[in-house]
Amino acid sequence: MVLAMYMSMGKRHGYRQALHRVEAPVLVVRGELDLQAEKADRLHAECFPNSSFEVVKGAGHFMYDEQPQAVSQIVGKFLNALR
């Protein structure tokens, strides 16, 4: 989505309507200590009709680097549930 915003030369576009049409399962993961507001991440997750939202305790924005085992466990659980 960042690339899409960059390519639009600063114009704002509403992507939420399109995200509501995504039927695939979506996992949104955030670090508990991330500077971006949790509310923003939850709003993104709510755009997808089939989403899961998880928080990695004790991690910031780069949670996969700060808490790799916790992130791996969250992703593994999500993928196993798809079977």
Tell me: the pLDDT tens digits for 59-72? 999 999 999 999 99
Please list the alpha-helical segments (H only) found in the chain.
Answer: 2-7, 16-19, 38-47, 63-66, 68-81
Tell me: the pLDDT tens digits for 6-40? 566 666 667 778 889 999 999 999 999 999 999 99
> Does 2 score more than 60 pLDDT?
no
